[in-house]
Amino acid sequence: MSAFPMQWPTAHGGPFIQGVIRQQPEDFHVTEIPRYEPEGEGDFLWLKIRKRNQNTDWIAQQLIKIAGIKNNDVQYAGKKDRNAVTEQWFSIHLHGQAEPDLQALLSDDVQILESVRDRSGLRRGNLKGNDFTICVRKLEGDIPALETVLETIQQQGIPNYFGEQRFGHDGNNLLCAQQLFTDSSFRPAKNLRGIYLSAARSYLFNKVLSYRVYHGHWNQAMDGEWLQSPASKSRFIIGRMDDATRARIDKMEINPTGPLWGKGQPESKRECLQMEQRLLNSLETFRTGLEKAGLQQDRRSLRLRVENLSWDIEGDVLQMTFFLPAGCYATSLLREIVCY
């Protein structure tokens, strides 16, 4: 059992069914949507690769080996699940050399779908989001209630939790974060250090969000709340609530936010600040560690609109398609509707 509780409450009364996800890789299909398309010329070769049962780092290492280039000459915008079928972009910095012969990469589980040049390479997080097609098999439970909650999610969204994969198996990334903050002899590699810092920061956010879900105001504004537009990412702090602001919140044009901890003064004020400080007082090691690591105070939307959500139930199989913006997790939707 993890030393860090992660039984976050759901928002819509579920889950109402049990089921099996990822019975086969094709049951979890993800297509990456880049923030911009490659232009067609330049010194960087962009490859759209479909992979099955392969992780992102393995593909990157194969490209490095086949092309005979340095590690930092291959980039991607985000990591994708191994036990899935995923389509994502990689970029190779050619440094004026001819395009490499990538036939050795290809197999039944790896195909190159597109190959396009651009003047710059990919950067982490350079994503608009991801399209998902997910099958849940062997459904058992209240199917009418499942359909009702899916309709509710279409209208009201879901809590924007960080997914459990952020925290590692049995919360191991959090244990490593704790060690990072308390043991000066623990010096993980740079990429692992970043993973542990992200896990600690995400845990603080989820703790605030879970409290607000439990008390039913995760999708409402508090006094001193920062509200965020999901379209522009612009934020403003709420003073006195008025009908126009309340209507915009109800329509999901703006969302309440929670803390992404770092150094500097917390951005929330008054009632909202008092609530967040009270909830996070017991996690001083994480708060202080993140501040000393140099991360800055930021905010993240508490609510997530599940765009283009549609579904079909045939027998004991549920199939869903939807889009989520970058940094959001399909598991945040699945946990609202199914025990798996």
How is 242-272 classified by DSSP, letter by letter?
A: -HHHHHHHHTTSSEEEEEE--BS--S--HHH
In 100-171, which ranges are continuous DSSP H helix? Answer: 143-156
pLDDT at site 237: 86
Which tokens belong to 164?
A: 């459990």
Query: Is position 101 annotated as part of the catalytic site?
Result: no
pTM: 0.92
Give mean pLDDT, residues 23-45: 94
**pLDDT-based confidence at 234, cuts 50/70/90?**
confident
d(C-alpha 44, C-alpha 95), whole Å: 8
Strand, coil or helix: 141: strand
**pLDDT-based confidence at 314, cuts 50/70/90?**
very high
d(C-alpha 335, C-alpha 209), whole Å: 15
Contacts of 328 (CB under 8 A, 6+ apart): 129, 160, 304
Task: Write down the catalytic residue from 43, 57, 73, 81.
Answer: 81
pLDDT at site 74: 96
Cβ count within 10 A of residue 38: 22
Give mean pLDDT, residues 43-68: 95
Nearest to 220 by CA among 251, 258, 250: 250
**Residue 287: exposed, middle, or buried by beta-carbon count in 10 A (0-12, 13-18, 19+)?**
buried
Q: How many CA atoms lie within 13 A of 157 on its CB side?
A: 25
CB 200 within 8 A of CB 260: no
For 89-100, write each residue's pLDDT tens digit.
999 999 998 899
Strand, coil or helix: 98: coil
Q: Which helix (H) or strand (E) holds 305?
A: none
Spell out the long-range contacts of 188-196 with Cβ–Cβ below 8 A and sequence spacing 24 or more: 195/168
Q: What is the DSSP letter of 296?
A: B
d(C-alpha 42, C-alpha 119), whole Å: 4
CB 112 within 8 A of CB 42: no
Query: Strands 235-237, 226-228: parallel, antiparallel or unpaired by DSSP?
Result: antiparallel
* pLDDT-above-70 percentage for the chain: 99
Instruction: Say if residue 133's pLDDT is above 90.
Output: yes
Cβ count within 10 A of residue 319: 15
Nearest to 192 by CA among 204, 180, 203, 181: 180
Range with lowest mean pLDDT among 11-15, 102-106, 229-233, 263-267? 229-233
d(C-alpha 240, C-alpha 25), whole Å: 50
Instruction: Say if residue 290's pLDDT is above 60.
Output: yes
pLDDT at site 233: 81
**pLDDT-based confidence at 2, cuts 50/70/90?**
low
**Residue 152: exposed, middle, or buried by beta-carbon count in 10 A (0-12, 13-18, 19+)?**
middle
Strand, coil or helix: 24: coil
Tell me the residue length of the chain: 340
